[in-house]
């Protein structure tokens, strides 16, 4: 296929599938290919998303140095191009990297920055994900009352924006934490 946007999209989807099935070597290969083609297409919006995905994969692999390197690159792209929505999403990813790397206080500061942006916008999915992550960080810091209060804020947003099935999933997951 000669269409670089389609090639980038193919590699993005392949990378996500391999990441979700924990075939990390293949995921990284495809995500790097997606970044290459997004760069060739001069599509910084898409590039920002692809670099964030690669950082997520390195995070899942426990390769925190590479995760930080890529997430900082994604933040730079988002900032330079004034992609406010992506900036908040990337901050959410960075917070999960901090949390998985054992830096829960920094994760909490970072997720609060993401939430301050997300609360001003219309990305209900991003907002619910960030609130959910903050709940997990608070529980990790043994701040249960705050986590429960925040979870109470999550439920009506998830119900209105995502439906009752999403609420059931959040409740089940929360009860397992």
* pLDDT exceeds 80 at position 174: yes
Supply the pTM of this predicted model: 0.90
Judged by phi (left if over 0) then psi (alpha if -120 to 50, else beta), residue 3 lies in: beta
Both tokens of 4, joined, read 């670089």
In contact, 70 and 55? CB cutoff 8 Å: yes
**36-47 pLDDT, tens per residue?**
999 998 889 889
**110-129 pLDDT, tens per residue?**
999 999 999 988 788 889 99
């Amino acid at each position: 296929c000669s269409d670089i946007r389609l090639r980038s999209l193919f590699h993005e989807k392949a990378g996500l599938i391999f990441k979700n099935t924990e075939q990390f070597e293949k995921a990284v290969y495809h995500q790097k290919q997606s970044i290459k083609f997004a760069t060739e297409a001069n599509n910084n919006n898409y590039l920002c998303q692809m670099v964030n995905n690669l950082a997520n994969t390195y995070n899942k692999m426990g390769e925190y140095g590479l995760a930080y390197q890529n997430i900082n690159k994604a933040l730079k792209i988002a900032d330079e191009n004034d992609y406010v929505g992506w900036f908040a999403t990337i901050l959410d990813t960075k917070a999960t990297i901090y949390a998985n790397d054992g830096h829960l206080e920094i994760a909490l500061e970072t997720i609060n920055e993401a939430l301050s942006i997300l609360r001003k916008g219309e990305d209900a999915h991003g907002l619910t994900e960030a609130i959910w992550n903050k709940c997990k960080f608070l529980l990790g810091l043994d701040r249960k009352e705050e986590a429960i209060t925040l979870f109470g804020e999550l439920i009506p947003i998830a119900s209105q924006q995502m439906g009752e099935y999403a609420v059931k999933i959040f409740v089940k997951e929360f009860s397992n934490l």
